[in-house]
A and B are shown apart, each in its own frame.
Chain A
């Protein structure tokens, strides 16, 4: 197995059965190298989010096989996959999905507290750094529900980065951001791929953003073109 491969998806087939049987993904195969910055584009409804949920191990009802960092993940139990996600995958959802009753800093810290590999002080320190990077250090103690949409999205990015995951996936992570903040996020992602060799896979509708990334994978009707 090639050591440079971060993620490999082989002949992924996905059906939805409700309301009627419908094939969303038609034998999709992808290979992403470590440290690569990949953009996933395509028109609405082409199956980008669906593919990303499978790649992130959250969706397990598909045909084909998935391996990340050389280990096959297809067929593993929900709890094993949860532990794997916690350590190796950072995910930014299409909609923000913060825990609304918790403060911003708590939201960012939670995946690291779950991983339980660093002291609480170290985790807090790192969480503040991430927030600062995204221009949110003065929002840390607010309740997550009190932030604007764009701010919430940036908190979600800070949270996705907290465990230094080897693969970071985002479903339109900059969808709610102005161009200045989009540039900041792009620069952070670029920096992570260069200095830490982390892999980035993001769905985007922003042609500028996609154009600056290493590679564009375009989808149409459940196929890669």
Chain B
């Protein structure tokens, strides 16, 4: 029975070939736009994430400083008591992270963790003659730092690994070097908050394209940093942790935060604007592409309605000869499905072609050469499924109307 209905559907589609092509083109357009928009947005998000993770890690462990001690008296003397405090003074609290070894071991044991690196971060003045710029000096574990931030790939001159052996070596951001009018192999003077001043030799320059980093950051070996701060060989201010899937940081944070007496913060919490940006872009992409699909669906609905009005006599004859309402629904739904599947397949190919063309449009900004694009099977499958659902709904409504046609009304004339 189905075979007969399909045969009728085929005759309908082929006898009005121009109309069928228009309907197919509608779906093709909708689906290709869906694929393209989502590929583009994903591409943009991926680039954004990649840039962001050159300067931040997935999980950041650091000493948050002392708790709020602005009203110590209230903590000790509750209620209304008159007290007299003389010679009040803020005592120094411990900075940095203690028992680094234990924490490192604990974090490394987490199955999701793929890397961890200790840092000694210091706010310093970079000086060259009378030129004085405020910035961050990062004392790093050369290998591990590179494993997490991939900094070696951003070197414009010199080599990252040099830091391993040159304890008097410093690597600094390109913009910082320009502002200080310094180049590789020049000397750079640093001044710490404690008033210590020391000279380093520039052994490398990097450019991450994140301006804030490039104009204010410099790296030295972590032991040199400890020396500079006059601290022991265990001293660390920050631990930077990377996990396998950067989207999924919460389980690790939830597991280690209670047992580590320091602040454990995921990148999502510390950089909510990044997440918000990527979520908003996704919403825009979805909204635009679903709107396009909706318009295409409306086109199919119109064409199917037209077909049914033209075929109303034919439907009446079929019913008079004994075809049921279900047969009629099947006949017209089959047409919608064929339109949806063909339009969907061509749409996926066209979407890929458009994405590829746009991916070759030059775009030289923020370290990019071309407009970014992602090629994910998921986008293509979703586009196809959404397209099919749209055509099914758009085809079902007219098909149901057709199935309810009363044959006598038409045949009587």
Contacts and interface: CB of A to CB of B under 8 A. Distances in A.
Interface bin, chain A = 20 to 34
Given A49-B412, A95-B413, A113 B4 contact: yes
B11 interface: yes
B314 interface: yes
A114 B408 contact: no
Q: Nearest 7 pairs between A and B by C-beta?
A: A86-B322, A101-B15, A113-B4, A79-B324, A59-B408, A111-B321, A85-B322
Interface in B321-358: 321-327
A98, A99, A102, A159 — most chain B CB neighbours (10 Å) = A99
A110 B4 contact: yes
Given A99-B314, A113-B4, A114-B1, A58 B11 contact: no
Contacts of A86: 321-323
Contact of A99 (B317, B322, B412): B317
11 contacts: A53-B408, A56-B320, A82-B319, A82-B322, A82-B323, A82-B325, A87-B322, A93-B411, A99-B314, A101-B11, A116-B1
A60 B326 CA distance: 19
B281 interface: no
Contacts, number: 68
Interface of A: 49, 53, 56, 58-59, 78-79, 82-87, 91, 93, 95, 97-102, 110-111, 113-116, 159
Interface of B: 1, 3-4, 7-8, 11-12, 15, 313-314, 317-327, 407-408, 411-413
A91 B407 CA distance: 13
Nearest to A85: B322
A113 B318 CA distance: 12
B411 A97 contact: yes
Nearest to B316: A97
A114 B322 CA distance: 8
Nearest to B323: A114
Contact of A58 (B3, B8, B407, B413): B407
A78 B15 CA distance: 29
Contacts of A95: 413
